[in-house]
Amino acid sequence: MMQGLQEAVAASRADQERIQMDLDALQTRNEKLHRTNEELRHGLRNQAWNRETEEQECATSPWEFRMPFSQAIMDAVIPATFVGSKATFIGMEDPEAHLIAFHTQMMPVVGFDAVRCKLFMSTLVGTAMDWFISLLDDYVTSFAQLSQLFREQYIANRAPPPNSYDLLDVRQYQGESLKEFVNRFGAHVVKVNTKDETMMVHVFRKGICPGPFSESLIRSRLKTFAEIRHRAVAHIAAEGEVNEKRACVVPTRPRAPARAQPMRVHEVATGKRS
């Protein structure tokens, strides 16, 4: 009987040892699975962070919006010495006037076609920028093409071409000085780009108000607007000197001091004076 009990105890111990070994193996496997899960969780966390970083980089890309420029223009670098044009275009101005202003301010950029394209884009504001963005991708390949597209888009805003007969409407205003009228008339001459000296002289004489200068033009019979301008400069200088003279206060002549009357003989004797 004792032998049976000893065998049962030994078997029980063997079972306990086998169970303990199984528990140890299970714990080892659980620890390994835990480490694997941690590694997977860490890897997924890194992937999510990388994906978020890439999305942020894409969101802050300088070319996030569609650009109609070709890749060659996009790759062009604007030198730090170049300063953009101060002119702006919102879609209501004359396109020719804007192009002239841009060309004038961008004279140092001659030869840098791609840079001119980028600098011209920076002058567009509001609806004009909306039009530019609406162009097809990789469509603009040169500044000449961009200028032509710009002219065609805003052709309705172009001012009518000047006519030399527009000078007939230039007349001296009431109270306008001769200097102001000569400058305004000269600006209109430049605008209409006329070379007809006879017409310019005739229109100027008709447009000026009656006065000493108008009478001098009738008497002198000048033949060119340059002669009228020189005569006006001399007249303005003389008129200014006359006005300066008139503004001066003429001093009054000082009165001579009264002379003492000589004393008579009888006044000297009596010590009296009349």
pTM given for the model:
0.51
Supply the pLDDT for residue 221: 81
Between residues 63 and 11, which one has the greater pLDDT? Answer: 11
Mean pLDDT over residues 214-241, rounded? 85
In angstroms, the CA 200 to CA 168 distance is 9
Mean pLDDT over residues 94-106, rounded? 90
In angstroms, the CA 215 to CA 212 distance is 5
Mean pLDDT over residues 99-108, rounded? 86
In angstroms, the CA 274 to CA 272 distance is 7
How is residue 83 written in tokens? 């300063």
- Percent of the chain whose pLDDT exceeds 90: 21
Matching residue, tokens 């504001």: 125
For residue 17, what are the CA distances in angstroms to 8, 10, 13, 20, 76? 14, 10, 6, 5, 78
**Partner residues linked to 124 by β-bridges:** 89
Query: 13-27, 57-71, 97-111, 238-252: which has the highest mean pLDDT?
Result: 97-111
Supply the pLDDT for residue 126: 92
Residue 144 pLDDT grade (very low, low, confident, very high; cuts 50, 70, 90): very high
Residue 149 pLDDT grade (very low, low, confident, very high; cuts 50, 70, 90): very high
Q: Decide: 123 and 154 in contact? Cβ < 8 Å.
A: no
How is residue 64 written in tokens? 């996030």
**Can you tell me whether residue 124 is helix, strand or coil?**
strand
Residue 17 pLDDT grade (very low, low, confident, very high; cuts 50, 70, 90): confident
Whether 272 shows a pLDDT value over 60: the answer reads: no
User: What are the DSSP calls for 1-21, one per residue?
Assistant: -HHHHHHHHHHHHHHHHHHHH
φ/ψ of 140, rounded to 5, equals -85, 125
Supply the pLDDT for residue 63: 47
Four-CA torsion 144, 150, 155, 160, nearest 10 degrees = -60
